[in-house]
Amino acid sequence: MADPVYKERLQKYLARAGIASRRKAELLIEAGEVVVNGRRAVLGMSVGPGDEVRVRGEVVVPAERHRTFMLYKPTGVLTTAHDKYGRKTVMELMPLIPALHPVGRLDRDSEGLLLLTTDGGLTEELTHPRYRHEKEYRVWCREGRVVPSMLARLCAGVLLEDGIARALRAYPKPGGCVVVLAEGRKRQVRRMLASVGYTVTRLLRTRFAGLQLAELAPGEYRELTRKEVRRLRYTRS
């Protein structure tokens, strides 16, 4: 009896190739931008060895082994793969690896721990709100140390233009504070502190999903071990 042919859902295949998360891969399929063996793909399709998959005309082949890196993103560098204005991006700090992309974002003016991976599935797990991976930020403010009463307000919830935002924990530090979040809206820490009367002058992400920035200097990176990647998949900080 012949061995069974292994097949997987097309959106999982695209995520494994680092093209997009599974949710975004479904949108690509629905938009008609994915072709399998010369025919337009449809949701629910599975692919296996011998199938040719193309996205926007380019052949997609998942890497045999995914790679994931931790980078100390410096200030002034964009968290994106490309910038139409020619500004410096995090990809210029990394080795040239097909499908490597940032996991989430750090604002241009912010610095610290940023993950990059070729694994679209891992990206989705780390960025989807339901997994509630913690992100810890060391913050410096123009007004100095943030008083406990204002930090309590951050934990109780403050109203921003895109809804209520809450810190999991927040405590004072010289010159500012530490804020821990389980979500990642655009410029969220800066906006939360502005809502209680503080102006952020420096923002450093020191921890994400159980990983610590530790010994890295600005612009430096290191590849995660397989053990660290496995912990990322099962850690909810």
Q: Which tens digit of pLDDT belongs to each residue from 166-219? A: 999 999 999 999 999 998 889 999 999 999 999 999 999 999 988 999 889 999
DSSP string, 1-19: -PPPPP-EEHHHHHHHTTS
Contact 61, 17 (CB under 8 A): yes
pLDDT for the residue numbered 48: 79
Contact 140, 171 (CB under 8 A): no
Supply the DSSP symbol for 89: B
Greater confidence (12 vs 186) lies with: 186
Q: Which tens digit of pLDDT belongs to each residue from 126-180? A: 887 777 889 999 999 999 999 999 999 999 999 999 999 999 999 999 999 999 9
Q: Give per-residue burial for 84-105: e unless 16+ CB within 10 Å, then b.
A: eeeeebbbebeeeeebbbbbeb
pLDDT for the residue numbered 178: 98
pLDDT for the residue numbered 235: 55
Catalytically active residues are: 107
**Two tokens, residue 22:** 């599974």
Domains of the chain from N-terminus onward: 8-59 (3.10.290.10), 68-129+211-234 (3.30.70.580), 134-208 (3.30.2350.10)
Supply the DSSP symbol for 109: T
**Two tokens, residue 196:** 């209680």
Q: Considering the chain, what is the average pLDDT of its residues?
A: 89
